[in-house]
Amino acid sequence: MADPMRIRAQAAGDKATVRVLMAHEMESGQRKDSAGKTIPAWFISEVSASLNGKVVMTAEWGPSVSKNPFLQFAIKGAKAGDKVSVTWTDNKGDKRTDEAAVS
């Protein structure tokens, strides 16, 4: 299982800025190992975020996203104490969900 995501959600007025740092190797399928064999592609393919259980953002990613990706987005209507949950799924079927409270 992958390491936990680092999620920070800060409210300002009627919106919250969410910052997420995901731990994932993100192989593109283009690199070769020391023996000259191609390293298979392994990357986050879907990301979704929800506020108090309601989906507020979805994204489809590909192999060109960097290792340990960083994502930032804003959610209108969020206030301190609300729960923000972020889920990713990679192309091998692994899944990770973490949550944080808006501060």
SS3 track for 24-61: CCCECCCCECCCCCECCCECEEEEEEEECCEEEEEEEC
pLDDT at 1: 56
CA distance 24 to 77: 30
Encode pLDDT of 26-83 as tens digits.
Answer: 999 999 999 999 999 999 999 999 999 999 999 999 999 999 999 999 999 999 999 9
pLDDT at 94 over 90: yes
Domain 6-101 has CATH 3.90.1150.10: no
Q: Where are the domains of the chain?
A: 6-101
